[in-house]
Structure 1
């Protein structure tokens, strides 16, 4: 059975679920599985459009043939090392990024998606564990993993992470309000 690999990381713009994978492959090979639509289609989805314009449309074909097309606003692309984008409608999009580094014949992928809600999006981590394992299977020519091995088995791991971070954020916010009240200011 696969094990959950994600962690939560707080950044200035929110909390991200972050997952890593290591490939015995050159960085350009791994980058192709994110940047070339035929390679991307082997594990998660497809895109249409010209990335150099700063926008494409993407759909997660791994979700089925009727998966909706989403607008993608490319925020940063430094091939073959960094990519950041907002996926989905403005105001309700998901911020995602991936970084690739190569050393000693291995490429490390760090993938992240910003959570919009710590109380409602714990399943995002489960999904990316599944999809990144699909990437590994696609590259190796192996059968795709079974979603039922991931969900709901991994959900508790991500729910616990979300509860812990949510608790910490609330405690920090309460401490700030207590200091503000002690100083006679309102916050």
Structure 2
């Protein structure tokens, strides 16, 4: 698999997001399960403990190396199997992500995004999310997982050169 930069900026009322779209030849419920079930998530990104319906979980990105720590994550919105919005951290380390799913013709489109506090962060965040979303696709298709080295720093220039929408500059 050849790594491709697929992210683009979108401006939302609460800030600038780096957004991605992926198409899956699967029903929406199956893609939702891959995104939200702690066991299914282990194959592509990490896992969580707790009960999302309480509004919070503890999440760990298991492919960030041996030192990856558990993060407290607030579930700000959850409408299965169509969307979720989650937030973790404070200040410069805060992270807000969303996932929206739509199904049509037996295919599901996933639109995923992360809010950026600084557009310069796209140079590292962009390749990272391309990598994780490609891992998700590979796991769902029972294919070999991509190698991180194909994404970073190879895709960083694409994200450095993205045009930042007016009104989004710090």
Query: TM-score per shorter chain, which class?
Result: over 0.9
Give the equivalent residue in structure 2 for 1:142.
143
Give matches, 1:171-182, under 5 Å: none
Aligned-pair CA distance for 1:97: 0.2
CA deviation profile, 1:80-128 (whole Å, cap 9, x unmatched): 00000102x2334211100000000000000000001112442111100
Partner of 2:105: 104
Highest RCO, 1 vs 2 (Cα 8 Å, sep ≥ 6) = 2
Shift >3 Å, 4+ stretches: 168-171
**Residues 6-155 of structure 1: pairs in structure 2 closer than 5 A:** 6-87=7-88, 89-91=89-91, 92-155=93-156
Distance 1:39 1:129 in 2: 19
> Please, which moves more after superposition, 116-125 or 134-143?
116-125
Cα separation, 2, equivalents of 1:170 and 1:132: 25
Structure 1 length-normalised TM: 0.85
Q: Aligned partners of 1:170 and 1:11: how far apart in 2?
A: 9
113-122 vs 93-102, which moves further: 113-122
Distance 1:83 1:55 in 2: 12
TM-score when normalising by structure 2: 0.93
Task: Supply the distance in 1 between the matched residues of 2:11 and 2:168 (Cα, whole angstroms).
Answer: 14
Which structure would you say has the larger Rg?
A: 1
Where do 5+ consecutive residues of structure 1 fail to align?
174-187
Q: Distance in 1 between matches of 2:14 and 2:63?
A: 29
Matched, 1:157 2:158: yes
- 2-structure distance, mates of 1:116, 1:3: 24
Aligned-pair distance for 1:170? 7.9
Higher helix proportion (structure 1 or 2): 1
**Two-structure CA RMSD over aligned residues (Å):** 1.7
